[in-house]
């Protein structure tokens, strides 16, 4: 936006309200402040903390750092420097678009806040829908409050055996954190593999590593959570009962859309809030961003709902800029790029998996490579890389990497950039990636995979 | 190439000759073998070893590994499995294109070899042109033989003080290797900074780190090498005389084009052999690849000569495929992507530097970022990143990164892919790069730099 388009007077009376103060919400509010110095900007956060690194919660649970370390900034950064009104422990109860008001619970009492512009960043919540999902010994670790409660329980009760429901990346991270605390951990995954965003081969490598530290039970669904004893909890699973001191629900998320949907905000095909490229909803003056909002998969062009931090922040920034009346910003979509470090391995993926590609109508193939992250004479850091591509068009669609320390990010990020740009296999094969014996192999595995995939058959 | 286009009979009599057996040459020969199973393929190598990792020579000089570890494969891989005729210590003396013959010195005697197709991969050589450049105590470390000779000298004579001429990446690596052997090292760079491929800010960080281990003398040119004493050597420099036990010439390379030029192979504007996208020279049946050949800078579109390993291998493969009559392969060009690990730092660059961009007619600016390679709560690995872009068009042109362990490659490779694809600043800013507290920062510094650069001014 050129500075000339800001007319201070225009924003004098403008009230920008943001519901949700974690990633997307605080990004939206901060961005809006930059563009609308005179606006009155208020952030409502249901929980006790704003702008914290939720991705660091497993490290907190492992005892590696205090919860407070996850704050991106001290609160004063937002209240004093950015002049945002930040209301924690304030829960939005109802949005009334016609009156541009939000009904809020504040210390148990309802208050009404008016807005000129509204950004909804209500995030995501547990999707677990089984009897006992609200049991007090069934914990969660998606939010500050949830992680704090689980940690307090572990300190106070000194439990010895835990179950984790769900073998996605959060389930694995929580299981590892609990194992690092000395707990015996059983992990239940109802699918046939861990990390369903990854292909079988890659997920299998992670499962092998995990099984050295926790008990992994694949193809086992938890049907019910009960408490047959005074202490502890029983999971009734498709493979029998499992008694543990407590359990953690990491079975997956769904977008928190109740508040918005009740106000008439339209939902997309994924069940998340539908927004355009400017993060605007179907309602005037209402934007949505982050885990509550639908987005687009950059490879397939299809609607997608992928709750991850970086996109939440970027979407928040776009929503904040547009809500503040800045020059129109757009968010093009995501690749679902994801990296984890787990049980001594690193794993990363971007773009489409084989299954996602099939669903999207491609005829995908995977080129699977075993390689090292540097020349053998300089060290051994093994990795496996799968390049997913469309058979008929030879278009790269996705990439998955599992390997030892430092093996993933250098080529995962290159793949993400290549997928965003729509580079062909031929172009990918000849990418000029930097080489150094200590830092990279002469032929990067990504290039080798592209070379093999590009071969005529 | 589709298998059907290979007619075994056609290649029965074909003789493919490759001059040079390090990176480009062995890649060419190996690729040709794949496509022309019946051809007679001969590699001539002046030195004692083929297909070794020249980039690992500094690690050998540091005493970190034996020279033999740098062999990509045992010789039998080439002679037995790939059925290549590999003639080491064979120096090509003359190419006679009209007769399709090469005159070769073999054990001191001249022999004549015929070819149907010729690949020239003669590499590069020292460009130092001062009196005394051939002094016996002025060593080099570009080749297997040179490094072996230097190592033998150090073992036998136990020198204590060394000078390194040239502060490019090879000069720095050799200086560090010698310092690690316990030598006192003075490094002379006639330019005003180390690593002239990097901007001043980045080069300055490396210089700071280097100065803790070696004496760095910038803006000092070596004019002459002499031996005023029985043992040791004197460098006459623009800042006075420097007496050391020996010196190493790392002052830079020039393409080894004498043999080809004498045969009528045309030179490009950079002084290297001119080739088309298929690595073919102006002469029929003669290709060139690697450090002796000119290529194209992918960002500026201009002719470039950048002697680096990965491109040499890729060009060799393209030349080999085309020489063998496979389906036409092309090499599009380079970004000059480069990474080093030096004096406890990592440094990497890709695309154009500010100076290169200016020379190429852009009006470049640099967006300089200080950042960390992961969130502060998970660890501290500092880095600085410079994004070079064209002011008027806002097109990204290059990227430089200097930082602590693991800081460089993840974003350098993403930048390389983005530059190859011609992504805009806006697209770069919104790249979906993977995030994990242990592996990457929430906002990648590359994206932050693009965001700042994209701002209207």
pLDDT tier, A378 (very low <50, low <70, confident <90, very high otherwise): confident
CB B311 within 8 A of CB B275: no
Q: What is the pTM of this model?
A: 0.93
From chain A, the residues in CB contact with B348 under 8 A are 434, 439
From chain B, the residues in CB contact with A399 under 8 A are none
Across the interface, of A332, A412, A439, the residue whose CB is closest to B434 is: A412
The pLDDT value recorded for residue A107 is: 82
Q: What is the mean pLDDT of residues B65-82?
A: 93
CB pairs under 8 A between A and B: 208
Smallest Cα distance from B440 to chain A, Å: 8
If you measure CA to CA, which chain A residue comes closest to B299? A432
Q: Which of A409, A429, A442, A444 to mutate to test the interface with B (most CBs of B within 10 A)?
A: A409
Indicate yes or no: CB of A409 within 8 angstroms of CB of B311. Answer: no
The pLDDT value recorded for residue A227 is: 85
Tens-digit pLDDT profile for residues B307-346? 999 999 999 999 999 999 989 999 999 999 999 999 999 9
From chain B, the residues in CB contact with A337 under 8 A are 432-435
Indicate yes or no: CB of A411 within 8 angstroms of CB of B406. Answer: no
Indicate yes or no: CB of A331 within 8 angstroms of CB of B430. Answer: yes
The pLDDT value recorded for residue B326 is: 87
Q: What is the mean pLDDT of residues A293-298?
A: 98
The pLDDT value recorded for residue B378 is: 86
From chain B, the residues in CB contact with A413 under 8 A are 410-411, 413-414, 417, 431, 433-434, 444
The pLDDT value recorded for residue B456 is: 67
The pLDDT value recorded for residue B345 is: 97
Smallest Cα distance from B239 to chain A, Å: 34
Strand partners, B383: B371, B403
The lowest-confidence range among A86-95, A179-188, A332-341, B370-379 is B370-379
Tens-digit pLDDT profile for residues B336-353? 999 999 999 999 999 999
From chain B, the residues in CB contact with A437 under 8 A are 53, 55-56, 59
Tens-digit pLDDT profile for residues A21-41? 999 999 999 999 999 999 999
Indicate yes or no: CB of B338 within 8 angstroms of CB of A442. Answer: no
From chain A, the residues in CB contact with B334 under 8 A are 432
Tens-digit pLDDT profile for residues B86-113? 999 999 999 999 999 999 998 888 999 9
Tens-digit pLDDT profile for residues B261-302? 999 999 999 999 999 999 999 999 999 999 999 999 999 999
Q: Residue A359: CA atoms inside 13 Å, Cβ hemisphere, count?
A: 11
Q: What's the whole-number average pLDDT of chain B?
A: 94
The pLDDT value recorded for residue A13 is: 56
Smallest Cα distance from A334 to chain B, Å: 6
If you measure CA to CA, which chain B residue comes closest to A420? B431
Which residue has better confidence, A111 or A455?
A111
C-alpha to C-alpha distance for B154 and B157, rounded to whole angstroms: 6
The pLDDT value recorded for residue A8 is: 44
A281 has a pLDDT exceeding 60: yes
Q: Structural domains in chain B? A: 3-124+254-323 (3.50.50.60), 128-251 (3.50.50.60), 344-454 (3.30.390.30)
Q: What's the whole-number average pLDDT of chain A?
A: 94
DSSP three-state, residue A273: strand
Smallest Cα distance from A417 to chain B, Å: 6
3-state SS record for chain B: CCHHHCCHHHHHCCEEEEECCCCHHHHHHHHHHHHCCCCEEEEEECCCCCCECHHHHHHHHCCCCCHHHHECCCHHHHHHHCCCEEEECEEEEEEEHHHCEEEEEECCEEEEEECCEEEECCCEEECCCCCCCCCCCEECCCCHHHHHHHHHHHHHHCCCEEEEECCCHHHHHHHHHHHHCCCEEEEEECCCCCCCCCCHHHHHHHHHHHCCCCEEEECCCEEEEECCCCCCEEEEECCEEEEECEEEECCCEEECCHHHHHCCCCECCCCCECCCCCCECCCCCEEECHHHECEEECCCCCEECCCCHHHHHHHHHHHHHHHCCCCCCCCCCECCCEEEEECCEEEEEEECCHHHHHHCCCCEEEEEEEEECCCHHHCCCEEEEEEEEECCCCCEEEEEEEECCCCCHHHHHHHHHHHHHCCCHHHHHCCCCCCCCCCCCCCCHHHHHHHHHHCCC
Candidates B415, B416, B397; CA nearest to B359 is B397
The lowest-confidence range among A7-11, A244-248, A414-418 is A7-11
Q: Which residues of A are catalytic?
A: 55
The pLDDT value recorded for residue B13 is: 56
Using a pLDDT cut of 90, give the percent of chain B over it. 91
The pLDDT value recorded for residue A4 is: 33
Smallest Cα distance from A308 to chain B, Å: 9
């Amino acid at each position: 936006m050129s500075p000339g388009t800001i007319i201070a007077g225009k924003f004098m009376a403008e009230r920008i309200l943001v519901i949700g103060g974690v990633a997307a919400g605080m990004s939206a509010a901060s961005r809006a402040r930059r563009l609308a110095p005179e606006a009155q900007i208020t952030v409502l956060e249901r929980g006790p903390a704003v702008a914290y690194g939720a991705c660091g919660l497993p490290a907190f649970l492992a005892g590696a750092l205090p919860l407070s370390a996850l704050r991106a900034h001290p609160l004063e950064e937002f209240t004093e420097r950015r002049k945002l009104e930040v209301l924690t422990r304030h829960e939005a109860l109802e949005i009334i678009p016609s009156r541009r008001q939000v009904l809020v619970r504040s210390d148990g009492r309802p208050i009404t806040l008016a807005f000129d512009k509204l950004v909804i960043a209500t995030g995501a919540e547990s999707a677990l829908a089984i009897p006992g999902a609200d049991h007090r010994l069934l914990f969660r670790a998606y939010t500050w409050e949830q992680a704090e409660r689980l940690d307090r329980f572990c300190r106070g009760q000194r439990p010895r055996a835990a179950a984790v429901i769900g073998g996605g990346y959060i389930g694995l991270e929580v299981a590892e954190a609990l194992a690092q605390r000395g707990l015996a951990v059983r992990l239940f995954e109802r699918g046939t593999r861990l990390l369903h965003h990854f292909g079988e081969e890659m997920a299998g490598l992670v499962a092998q590593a995990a099984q050295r530290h926790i008990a992994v039970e694949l193809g086992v669904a938890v049907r019910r959570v009960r408490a047959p004893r005074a202490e502890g909890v029983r999971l009734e699973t498709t493979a029998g009962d499992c008694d543990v001191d407590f359990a953690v629900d990491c079975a997956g998320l769904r977008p928190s859309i109740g508040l918005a949907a009740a106000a008439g905000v339209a939902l997309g095909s994924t069940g998340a809030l539908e927004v355009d490229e400017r993060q605007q909803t179907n309602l005037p003056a209402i934007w949505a961003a982050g885990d509550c909002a639908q987005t687009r998969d950059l490879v397939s062009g299809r609607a997608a709902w992928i709750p991850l931090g970086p996109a939440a922040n970027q979407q928040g920034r776009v929503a904040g800029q547009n809500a503040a009346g800045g020059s129109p910003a757009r968010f093009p979509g995501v690749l679902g790029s994801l990296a984890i470090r787990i049980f001594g391995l690193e794993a990363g993926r971007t773009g489409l998996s084989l299954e996602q590609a099939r669903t999207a109508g491609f005829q995908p193939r995977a080129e699977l490579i075993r390689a090292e992250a540097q020349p053998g004479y300089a060290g051994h850091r093994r990795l496996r890389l799968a390049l997913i591509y469309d058979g008929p068009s030879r278009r790269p669609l996705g990439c998955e990497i599992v390997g030892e320390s430092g093996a993933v990010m250098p080529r995962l990020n290159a793949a993400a950039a290549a997928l965003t740009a729509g580079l062909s296999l031929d172009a990918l094969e000849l990418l000029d990636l930097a080489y150094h014996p200590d830092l990279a192999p002469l032929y990067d595995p990504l290039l080798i995979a592209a070379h093999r995939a590009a071969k005529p058959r």
